[in-house]
Structure 1
């Protein structure tokens, strides 16, 4: 199948902006992975200590609730409530730990390989990009290939993206002979939105993390700030422990192991 685009005066601009937007997205993701590689373990340690403090505060709040009622603390019920309250925090912590592991072994590939991946991505995008070809969203196989293409592009997987390109050509050929004419409706509005989206990517995190990552002094400053934050939470946790020791539950004091 041959895809023929009805081009107006701004089609090339629109197509180039789509590719540029996708490139900035990829760069932002790469910067985020580098940021997590550099600071992830410290950030996770801070967050872990933070949720430990939150947990202690909740325990203190529930104990005060029982105390104000003149009742003994029902630890089974309190632990059940706290587990429910902390579930979302624990999920976030698990995600952070998983991200750390994923970003630990960052591989550098040759620039020539990166360029080849970009070229193949662009060729596939011209055929399958959902914003250029409405057939992609109409055919599950084409959408699956487009998503595989995106993943391979973002992960700099040359072998995978080469395979995807071959499968794309096969899939389009299997759809039949002839030409499919495609027009881009509301192209002026879409171009304006793309300019805005690109600017937003470039002016917000994680893209702006590159400023820190490119300066050794800023990296050192960030690490020191994270260490200071961790120590503040540790100190706060100790204060909460002292408050919790006021409450005696079934003959024993609270013991924290988190």
Structure 2
């Protein structure tokens, strides 16, 4: 291909036009797949997991944190006594708060997920017809406003697309309808007016973005919560996991009782 020659063979130019159109269509399809995974499918999987198992994991982790804190507190009290220092419980508690800050942050994060799952379940589910409408509307908005498909999209339309993502995530069909009405149709680009160099550059950009997006989608499918999609549908597996966690919880509750008794004896 001779890029220095202004008289590019017309069939070659048309073929590249068609290839770029196909790549844009494929990119739009994969973007929708990615967002559907993140905002719809993964949300459903995480909701099911958190409501069936997550609250028990929270309880077990909370008890484990309590056990470790009691063990550490006992060590600190014993250290005071061995060194014949005046026992300062307030100082010990403050030190424990610092040492166990990470545990509390993880507990808070888990509780946030549980609360989000409860809220998500409480939303009125969309019918199959409305869910299809939601997908169709979002697909159209994505095609019009996503920066990967329209690199020159205006700032206002980027903000509008962010609002569309939020509406899609929250299954807000009415809001998505309004955003679709507000979305500007892009100016038609007549490729016959573009140079071959511009088309080649656009083809390269689209191919690279597709490759990156494919990797992103595959990564999503190998990670939590999507990796638990089969688990949450398996009643026996869920039941076994709950029984396992209940057993751990009982053991940790017994440990808490034992360490409380040890600590009381040290303080007498």
TM-score, length basis structure 2: 0.77
Root-mean-square deviation (Å): 2.9
In the other structure, the counterpart of 1:187 is: 206
SS at match of 2:229: helix
Residues 34-113 of structure 1: pairs in structure 2 closer than 5 A: 34-104=48-118, 106=121, 107-113=124-130
SS at match of 1:7: helix
More helix by share: 2
In the other structure, the counterpart of 1:168 is: 183
Stretches of structure 1 lacking an aligned partner (at least 5 in a row): 254-258
In the other structure, the counterpart of 1:233 is: 252
For residues 5-64 of structure 1, what are the alpha-carbon distances to aligned partners after superposition, in whole Å with 9 as ceiling and x for unaligned?
Answer: 992653332222222222222311221122212223222222221221232133123223
CA distance in structure 2 between the aligned counterparts of 1:178 and 1:17, rounded to whole angstroms: 23
Equivalent pairs counted in the alignment come to 239
Contact 2:168–2:176 at 8 Å: present in 1 too? yes
Question: Does 2:31 match 1:18?
Answer: yes
In the other structure, the counterpart of 1:120 is: 137
Contact 1:132–1:184 at 8 Å: present in 2 too? no
CA distance in structure 2 between the aligned counterparts of 1:229 and 1:135, rounded to whole angstroms: 56
In the other structure, the counterpart of 1:198 is: 217
CA distance in structure 1 between the aligned counterparts of 2:220 and 2:55, rounded to whole angstroms: 25
Per-residue deviation, 1:224 = 0.8
Judging changes above 3 Å, is the alpha-carbon distance between structure 1 residues 126 and 8 closer, same or farther for their aligned structure 2 residues?
Answer: closer
Residues 140-151 of structure 1: pairs in structure 2 closer than 5 A: 141-151=156-166
